[in-house]
Amino acid sequence: MDFINAIILLLNYIFVPALAYGSQLALGAIFVTLIYGILRFANFATGDMMSFGTMFTILFTWYFQSVGIGLGILPTALLAIPFAVFFMIGYMLLIDKFVFKYYRANKSPPVQLAMVSIGVMFVTQAVVRIIIGPSDRRFFDGEKFLIKAGEFKEITGLNEGLAIKSTQVITIFVTIILVSALFWFLNKTKTGKSMRAYSDNEDLALLSGIDPKKIVIITWIIAGILATIGGALYGLDKSFKPFTYFNNMLPIFAAAIVGGIGNPFGAFLGGYVIAFSEILLTYAYKKFFMYVLPQSMEPDGLIQLLSTDYKFAVSFSILVIVLLYRPSGIFKGKVL
Amino acid sequence: MRKNLNVIAAYSIMMGLIILVGIFQSWNIALSIFNLCLISAVMTMGANIQWGYAGLINFGIMGYTALGGLAAVLISVNPVQEAWSAGGLNILLSLFLIIGMVLAVRYVLKKYEKSKNRTYVIATIIILGIIIIRFVSEPGIEAIEEVDPAKTGFLGGFGLPIIFSWIVGAVFAGGLAFIIGKVALGLRADYLAIATLLISEIVIAIIKHEDWLTRGVKNVIGLKRPAPYEVNLQQTDWFINLVEKFNSGKLSLISDLTDRQSALNQLVIEGSSVFVKLCYSGLFLVVVIILLILTQKALYSPWGRMMRAIRDNEEAANAMGKNVVKQHLLIFVLGSAIVGIAGAMLVTQDGLFTPGSYRPMRYTFLIWVMVIVGGSGNNFGAILGGFVVWFLWIESAPIGLYLVNLTTAGLDDTHFLKVHLIESVPYFRFLMMGAGLLLIMRYRPKGILPEKIEIK
């Protein structure tokens, strides 16, 4: 019985939250990796683009709530996301036309494009803050829990409860659908294949008659979808605050590089690597050992490897280690 | 003279703008803008050395700034005796353990050939070391943090004049840069950017949460000053006489004696804070000028020429027998050390150390905007960038307010759009920075004052 309690404990505090957080990171990381692989620059506006998409999701959610349209037990935001994606793609294509296109045509070095993306970051951040403000916003509605801790205890008769938030399930579910659709697109369709070819070798792709303009537009469209959905899911699960989104750029970058930048599947797994290591290393295992070990060997301290304050530092350290020993990432991205 | 005309013109316009702020807003505001402009100028010089001279991208400026600030605390604060007796021994012991660990790793690295076993041995040393250090330091840290946590709760510093910290800050930042450079300089440019950005976040995390060293988010306040205190100034005779002399024309107009006295008092209070700020400006100006002379000399020296050669074509420079790796490391350390000075100066001016205030937006990306806008590779350009961008950063709120009022003049004062826009005026600064950066990068990619190399 104690053993099951211990498992439930880990499930509740580590596995489920890490899976949800990892999915959110994974979507962002695929976004970074796609931009890096096809447009060939590190996009420092990642976090703010995600917050831009989330902002539209929130605005539409408010609109739907005010006219009384809802999805019952599901959050209204799910209904708002498609509309937000539409606006987000528009914004991205606009930015590309007025900002990035010029540098791409001039074949500027990637560093210059990264600098330009910092300009985009500033502008996007300003727009988001001017439109919706810098404060913390929750836009979740509907049923909050799938299983409540108390109910779970009653049903199973265990000491430990397992609480599963509906947002966590939605996050994981949506991520699986979205990522499978994306991989199907990249691997099976002609356009997807041409995108991969373009990412692999630009000149060769041009020679085989692939239209670079089309590739760029499709990349931005996919990026818009990923950014909006990733951002909205994070906002649903936690809350929306422009500053946190800006900060989230850092673990997202870490995930993309750990997974091997330019490799979407690596980025997907990288998200989970980062999320799990962050949570595993900063969790206090005292209670777990109390269940597993006999009473005489009960630990005194919290058995916490690192204090939770170092959550971000964990992912960055992993990144640094990976950069040192395998610069191309765990799952072999572009060799840089 | 003629070819420097644009430099002189740009700087005169900038000074004119600051003087205008002095006349229309207040001299206090103008001087605080000026001081921060000077500090920003030091930071941009550091970034410019790395980016403009050598083409190294360093997004870790925030980390070095914070380390400089930490140096200011560690140098100037008086040591906390009880904390030292409570846990000093453990901390010192852990310090020796860390040094021992590093030496052991170095020994293994040197002594044995690269192999799987060596990697495992190093990993074991590091993991064991961390565990032992935690066991040694934990009781010490707890004891230190329990010493009067509301006031101290940390080890304190050395109780030296805070000016020394400017050099120590440089040493700290340079040391960190040495480690980072050893680790990360081999990476490609945009990887280096990301790696330095993330490492600087780690540095901030450590400064924020190691309370025994920095008091963490509890902040360190009331640091010593190199300049006199306003309160003391207001009671010294020579200062009051000075203010009286300066304002004799204004004061002689007031006939009533008590009115005149109160007017004088008001002027003295205002004057004292202006005077203190002027003291800082003087100190900062000295630093900026010294650094400017040194960097200019370096730029036109054979060494500077070599750096540019490395920047423009690494392989060619390497083929000519220049040690690219070593030079990159050197310039990385030098540039970061300059940023460290700026960090210490910043804390000196504020008189307080707030680890929570170090954010990449303000201390990394803004500095980069300054370098790019001003003109990378040109020291005068970088300094000008520091001035222009900081000036806009501060003055964008009034400018934004003016623009909002202008564009929404037709709307009612209570119209929701106008109210909303006026509330969000502070965020116009991000918009201005972003738009400015994008415009400069598009239409004047070399900055306001572009790099100009003439061989003297």
DSSP string, A104-123: HHTT--HHHHHHHHHHHHHH
User: Closest Cα to residue B307, out of B331, B282, B291?
Assistant: B331
Tell me what percent of the residues of chain A surpass a pLDDT of 90. Answer: 45
In the predicted model, is pLDDT for residue A336 greater than 50? no
Which of the pair, A30 or B400, is modelled with greater confidence? A30
Contact B388, B374 (CB under 8 A): yes
Name the residue with tokens 């402009």.
B37
Residue type at B264? L
Q: What is the pLDDT of residue B388?
A: 92
Residue in A115, A246, A317 nearest the CB of B202:
A317
In the predicted model, is pLDDT for residue A143 greater than 90? no
Residue A193's contacts (CB-CB under 8 Å, 6 or more residues apart) are A186, A187
The whole-number average pLDDT for the span A122-144 is 89
Q: What is the pLDDT of residue B2?
A: 60
Select from B135, B142, B198, B370 the residue whose CB has the most chain A CBs within 10 Å, as the one to mutate to test that interface.
B198
Contacts 24+ apart (CB under 8 A), B399-405: B399/B428, B399/B432, B400/B425, B400/B426, B400/B428, B400/B429, B400/B432, B401/B425, B403/B428
Closest chain B residue to A327 measured between Cα atoms? B187
Q: What is the pLDDT of residue B454?
A: 58
Residue in B183, B190, B198 nearest the CB of A42:
B190
Tell me what percent of the residues of chain A surpass a pLDDT of 70. Answer: 97
How would residue A335 be classed by pLDDT, with cut points 50, 70 and 90?
very low
- Is any Cβ of chain A less than 8 angstroms from the Cβ of B189? yes
Contact B67, B208 (CB under 8 A): no
A145: which strand partners? Answer: A165
Name the residue with tokens 């020993």.
A325
How would residue A51 be classed by pLDDT, with cut points 50, 70 and 90?
very high
Six-digit token pair at B375?
């003109």
Q: What is the pLDDT of residue B453?
A: 65
- Is any Cβ of chain A less than 8 angstroms from the Cβ of B368? yes
A130:B431 CB<8 A = yes
Report the alpha-carbon distance of residue B79 to residue A131 in Å, rounded: 49
pLDDT (tens digit per residue) in A318-330 = 887 887 777 777 7
User: Closest Cα to residue A57, out of A251, A237, A216?
Assistant: A237
Q: What is the pLDDT of residue B244?
A: 81
Which residues of B are less than 8 Å from A115 in CB distance? 368, 372, 437, 441
Q: What is the pLDDT of residue B1?
A: 52
User: Closest Cα to residue B372, out of A115, A126, A103, A41?
Assistant: A115
Q: What is the pLDDT of residue B257?
A: 81
Name the residue with tokens 């006489």.
B241
pLDDT (tens digit per residue) in A76-86 = 889 999 999 99
Nearest Cα of chain A lies from the Cα of B104 at a distance, in angstroms, of: 19
Instruction: Show the low-confidence residues of chain B (pLDDT under 70).
Output: 1-3, 453-456
Residue in A42, A121, A316 nearest the CB of B201:
A316
Which of the pair, A166 or A294, is modelled with greater confidence? A166
Host H or E run for residue A145? strand A145-147
Which letter does DSSP use for residue B227 in this model? Answer: S
Q: What is the DSSP string of A195-245?
A: HHHHHH-HHHHHHTT--HHHHHHHHHHHHHHHHHHHHHHHHHHS-B-HHHH
Q: What is the pLDDT of residue A183?
A: 93
Which of the pair, B242 or A122, is modelled with greater confidence? A122
Six-digit token pair at B401?
């307010």
Write down the architecture of domain A2-325 according to CATH. Answer: Orthogonal Bundle (1.10)
Report the alpha-carbon distance of residue A95 to residue A89 in Å, rounded: 10
Six-digit token pair at B141?
């840290």
In the predicted model, is pLDDT for residue A309 greater than 80? no
How many of the other CB atoms lie within 10 Å of CB of A44?
28
Q: What is the pLDDT of residue A47?
A: 93
Report the alpha-carbon distance of residue B254 to residue A231 in Å, rounded: 64
Report the alpha-carbon distance of residue B134 to residue B94 in Å, rounded: 8
- Is any Cβ of chain A less than 8 angstroms from the Cβ of B404? no
Which residues of A are less than 8 Å from B199 in CB distance? 316, 320
Residue in A126, A250, A257 nearest the CB of B428:
A126
pTM score of the predicted model: 0.91
Six-digit token pair at A225?
């979808």
pLDDT (tens digit per residue) in A87-119 = 999 999 999 999 999 999 998 888 889 999 999
Backbone angles phi, psi at A142, to 5 degrees: 95, -165
Q: What is the pLDDT of residue B456?
A: 47
Interchain CB contacts (distance < 8 Å): A and B: 123
Report the alpha-carbon distance of residue B233 to residue A114 in Å, rounded: 50
Please give the mean pLDDT across all residues of chain A.
87
